[in-house]
Amino acid sequence: MSTSWTTDRMPDCTDKTVLVTGANSGLGFEATKSFAAKGATIIMACRSLDRGQQAAAEIKTTVGESGATLNVRKCDLASLNSIATFTDSVTEDYDELDILCNNAGVMAIPRQETEDGFEKQLGVNHLGHFALTGQLLDLLLDSDGESRIVTHSSGAHEAGAMDFDDLHREQSYDKWEAYGQSKLANLLFAYELQRRFDANDITDTISVACHPGYAATNLQYRGPEESGSKIRLAMMKLANAVVAQPASKGVLPLLYAATVDGVDGGDYYGPSGFKNMRGPPEKQTSNDDSYDEQDAERLWKTSEELTGVSYSDSLT
C-alpha cells in the first residue's frame, strides 16, 4: 500500500498482455495510455471500433515510441453474442493474457435492456464482464507467471442492494439504485472469483477490485444526455469541473491493483484522500454487503444461468 503512488512508480509492462474494456474513454483510456507508456501489448475492447481507433491514435501520439502494441477490437458488453465473438478472437490470436481490466460501465441511465433482455446497468457493468471473464478464464489461468483480473467498482456500491426478486428492475426502476446494484454486483463477483481460486488452490491468478473515487469522465454525462435533461447535464459538468479529480488520477487505484507487487487476491483499492473521492491509491475495505458469501453464490449461479457462461470446467 502506498499513499504517494503515481504512474512513475508503475512497473515495466513490456512483457505483459493487457485487456481493457471501455478503453476508448475516461478511466479505460487513461489506463490504456499508462500501460502503453510502460510498453505493454494492449487489447482495447470497445463497443465502437471508430472511437477505439481514434483513442488508439491519440495514445500513440501522446506516448510515442514505447514498444507498446495497441489492438482495437469490437466488444459490446450489452450483447452476449458480441462478447462471445470477441473472446473467441482473443483466445485464437493470443497465447497469454496477464491483466484483464473489467472497466467499462454506464451510470444512472434511463431504463433500457441489453440485446439479451438484461437491465442495462446490470447487463453491461456486471453480467457482460461475468461472461467476458468466464470465456477468457482459461487463457488467464494458462498464462505464464501471475495473471490478474481487476474489476472496477464504485463507492456507489454502498448505496446498492441486490434485489434478486427483481434483478432487472422491471417492477420499479430507479437509475441510481440500479447503478448501485450493478456496482455491488461487481464486488460480489470479484471476491467470489477469488474465493473460488482459493478453493481450487489457484495462486498464480488473482481477482482484485478497485474504485476511482470521483473522476471527471463521460460517465456522468450519459444519463442526462439519454434522458434529455439539460439541467442535470449542466450540474454534472459543473461538478466535474469543481469537485472531481482528473481521470488520470482516478485511474491510479486500477493501475496499482493491476501491476504492483504485494497486491493480494480479494483486495480492494481506492483513493486515500477526501471521502475517498480523490488522492493516491490505498488498500480499502468495501461495505459488509459486498463480502456476503450467500449473496455472492446466488449472484454467481444466477449470472451463469443468465449468460450461459459456466466457470465449472476450470473452477469447482
- The residues that touch ligand NAP, with contacts defined as CB under 6 A, are 21-22, 24-28, 47-48, 51, 75-78, 103-107, 124-125, 152, 154, 211-212, 214-215, 217-219, 250
Cell 435533461 sits on residue: 229
Closest to ligand NAP by CB, 22 vs 279, is: 22
Closest to ligand NAP by CB, 70 vs 77, is: 77
Smallest distance, ligand NAP to C-beta of residue 87, A: 13
CA distances (Å), origin 261, targets 9, 102, 147, 246, 309 = 11, 20, 12, 25, 31
CB of 136 closer than 8 Å to CB of 175: no
CB of 209 closer than 8 Å to CB of 191: yes
Smallest distance, ligand NAP to C-beta of residue 127, A: 11
Choice among 179, 191, 214, 268 that is catalytic: 179
Query: Which run of H or of E encompasses 151?
Result: strand 147-152
Q: Rounded to whole angstroms, how far apart are CA atoms 196 and 190?
A: 10
Smallest distance, ligand NAP to C-beta of residue 199, A: 27
Closest to ligand NAP by CB, 16 vs 211, is: 211
How would you class 132 by CB atoms within 10 Å of its CB: exposed for 0-12, middle for 13-18, buried for 19 or more?
A: buried
- CB contact burial 11-32 (16+ within 10 A = b; e otherwise): eebeebbbbbbbbbbbbbbbbb
Query: DSSP code of 147?
Result: E
Query: DSSP code of 159?
Result: G
The one-letter amino acid at 238: L
Smallest distance, ligand NAP to C-beta of residue 172, A: 22
Closest to ligand NAP by CB, 27 vs 140, is: 27
Closest to ligand NAP by CB, 21 vs 34, is: 21
Q: Rounded to whole angstroms, how far apart are CA atoms 172 and 151?
A: 27
Give CA 156 to chain center in angstroms.
14
Smallest distance, ligand NAP to C-beta of residue 79, A: 8
179 flagged as catalytic = yes
Q: Mind telling me the catalytic residues?
A: 179
